[in-house]
Amino acid sequence: KDVFEKDIGIKGIDVWFAYTQLSFWQLYNSAFSAPFRDTNYEPELLVNLRTDYELLGFKGRILNLGFNHQSNGRSKPLSRSWNRLVANIGLEKENFNVLLKTWYRIPEDEQGDDNPDITKYMGYGELWGTLYWNRHRFSAMLRNNLRPGDNRGAIQLDWSIPVSMISENLGDKFSFYIQYFNGYGESLLDYNKSIN
C-alpha cells in the first residue's frame, strides 16, 4: 500500500491519495490463470482531519472522508468492481490502535453492475485493532453485514515482525508477515464465497 500525503495549507487537514494492490498467487493451476488467480486494485482519495479528543480512554487521532474504488480489472463474467464513499475514525491508546472503517456503496445501473449483491457479503464497514508489542505488530479485522436472517462476515488476523530482529543487517524495511482470513470478501472475485 502506497500513501501520498499533501498538506493543503489548512491546519489539521491533509489530502491523502492511497493505492493498494492485492494479488492472489495460484501457482498450482496453470490451466486457470497461473501464476495469479486474482488481482485487486484499490485507489482512494481521502481528506484527513487530524483530531485530538478523548473517548472511553482513547485519543481520537484521525477522521478520514473520501472516495474509494475497488476492481479486479477483468472482463465479464469475472469482472468485479464497486465505488464507495468512505468515512474512517482512528483512535489510539498507548501501543493499541482502533480503526473503524465505514462505507456507502455508490449505486450503479443494473446492466453495468458486476456484483449487485456485494454489500450483502461485505456489509458497510469493518473494525480494525492493532497492538504493537516489542517490535511485533498484531492486528485483527472484524466485518459483519449486520443482517439477522442472512448474517455474513469475516475475520482476519495478522502478525508481523521486522526481519532486523533476526538479522540486523537487513534493517527495519522488511518484515515477516503471517495472515489468517476466514469469511467473505477476501478477494473481489470470490466476495460471495466463504474462504479461509
Residue positions annotated with a catalytic role:
69, 71
Identity at 73, one-letter amino acid code: G
Per-residue cell: 120:
450483502
In terms of C-beta density within 10 A (0-12 exposed, 13-18 middle, 19 or more buried), how is residue 91 classed?
buried
In 37-141, where does DSSP find H-type helix?
118-122
Edge-to-edge strand order for the sheet containing 13-25?
Answer: 2-7, 13-25, 36-55, 58-71, 81-93, 96-105, 125-133, 136-144, 153-162, 175-183
The pairing of strands 96-105 and 81-93 is: antiparallel
Select from 13, 61, 21, 64 the least CA-distant residue to 40. 21
Q: Phi-psi category of 125—alpha, beta or left, where left has phi over 0 and alpha has psi -120 to 50?
A: left
CA atoms in the 13 A half-sphere facing the CB of 29: 8
| Run of H or E including 149 | none
